[in-house]
Structure 1
Amino acid sequence: MYKNTFPSKRFRHTLEFLQKHVNTDETILDLGVENPFSKIMTSQGYRVQNTKGEDLDLDFSSVKNSNATVITAFEIFEHLLAPFNILKEIEANRLVASIPLKLWFSPAYKSKTDPWDRHYHEFETWQFDWLMEKSGWTIKDSAKWTNPVKKLGVRPLLRSFTPRYYIVYAVREN
């Protein structure tokens, strides 16, 4: 199958979860610019359109003007100052979203070279669930997985059994 062709465990788990909840005959608006995972979705038969790089904290036009039946948001909400706002503005009534979880043994991510590549939020599961609920979404399914690394040390050991990623399938009754 495809398990050995993806660059990471995260992509494999994300695709399996997406395939569980979204058919390839549906249209997807993926929040964020085209990326390796949106290309994987397209290669698996999904019809995917990405947002154009606008500031999703301030500009909701892509979600307001989209006719997509499903919104995907893979590791993007942690970069936004106020993800509640875009979640409220989404017109589609189905959402698949994933986030990296806050790890007690590792600080929030911040790139040393790219001023936009940082995590304003790193959620605990209950915080993301609450964000979804407060913005009008009902979580119907969720999953977590670890992200082990091939290094020696205490942190790598902790990463082998501490969940790093959280994904949800949510719906909104309009």
Structure 2
Amino acid sequence: MYEKVYPNKRFKHTLEFLQKHITPSETIMDLGVSNPFSKIMVENGFNVKNTTGEDLDKDQTSLQNESYTVFTAFEIFEHLLNPYTILENVKSDKLFISIPLRLWFSPAYRSKTDMWDRHYHEFEDWQLDWLLEKTGWKILAREKFTHPVKKIGFRPLMRYFTPRYYIVYAEKVK
């Protein structure tokens, strides 16, 4: 059933992780413009607000001016030059972040056609953990998961065994 509704393993896993830790009564500020996963959250009863496309490295106004109880950033921190500043401006006490992990057999992603679709950071799990600790967050849950693809080759084979994504749930240290 899930495969028909959520063809992407990443979306299915992310939704299950979110549902494990919060209820739909929470108001979510999702970093980035409306996207397929923010629509899935809404379809599952969550109240979701998105940022509007501003340059988040320079402008965190929406994080300060909106009212929300949970902050989410799913596969967006790798695109930012300055995720530290974002984390300092989050005003909720709960956050969820997922990132693609740095893989030794795959170079950092860089679109040849879209100058904004690039990974400035290819994180290892400990780097995200340290970033959260330095900005006053305590990780309460974390998971890694794979992202197999239906292709033939060395890298597709490695994706069956090597975790590709890292997701965390953290709360603000008081």
Q: TM-score range by the shorter chain?
A: over 0.9
- Alignment gaps of 5+ in structure 2: none
C-alpha distance after superposition, 1:80-131 (max 9, x if no partner)? 0010011011111100110000000000001111100000001001111001
Aligned to 1:37: 37
* Residue aligned with 2:62, SS: helix
Q: Conserved in 2, the CA contact under 8 Å of 1:66 and 1:91?
A: no
Shift of 1:2: 3.4
Say whether residues 1:103 and 2:103 are aligned partners: yes
Backbone CA RMSD of aligned residues: 0.9
Counterpart-to-counterpart distance in 1, 2:106 and 2:148: 14
**How many Å apart are 1:153 and its aligned residue?**
1.0
Where do 5+ consecutive residues of structure 1 fail to align? none
Check if 1:22 corresponds to 2:27: no
- What SS does the aligned partner of 2:132 have? helix
| Residue pairs, 1:14-163, within 5 angstroms | 14-163=14-163
1:68 is displaced (CA, Å) by: 0.3
**Aligned-partner Cα distance in 2 for 1:106–1:40:** 29
Deviation of residue 173 (structure 1)? 3.0
Partner Cα separation in structure 2 for residue 13 and residue 4 of structure 1 = 14
1:3 CA displacement: 4.5
Q: Distance in 2 between matches of 1:18 and 1:93?
A: 15
Q: Secondary structure at the match of 1:139?
A: strand
* Counterparts of 1:72 and 1:140, CA distance in 2: 15
Alignment partner of 2:5: what SS? Answer: coil
**TM-score normalised by length of structure 2:** 0.97
Is the 8 Å Cα contact of residues 57 and 82 (structure 1) preserved in structure 2?
yes
Structure 1 stretches of 4+ moved >2 Å: 1-4
> How many correspondences in the alignment?
174
**Matched position secondary structure for 1:23:** coil
SS of 1:163's equivalent in the other structure is: coil
Which whole-Å CA distance do the structure 1 matches of 2:50 and 2:2 have between them?
23
- Per-residue deviation at 1:5? 1.1
How high is the TM-score relative to the length of structure 1? 0.97
Corresponding residue number in structure 2 for 1:167: 167
**Within 2, Cα distance between the matches of 1:19 and 1:146?**
20
Asked if 2 retains the 8 angstrom alpha-carbon contact of 1:70 and 1:95, the reply is: yes
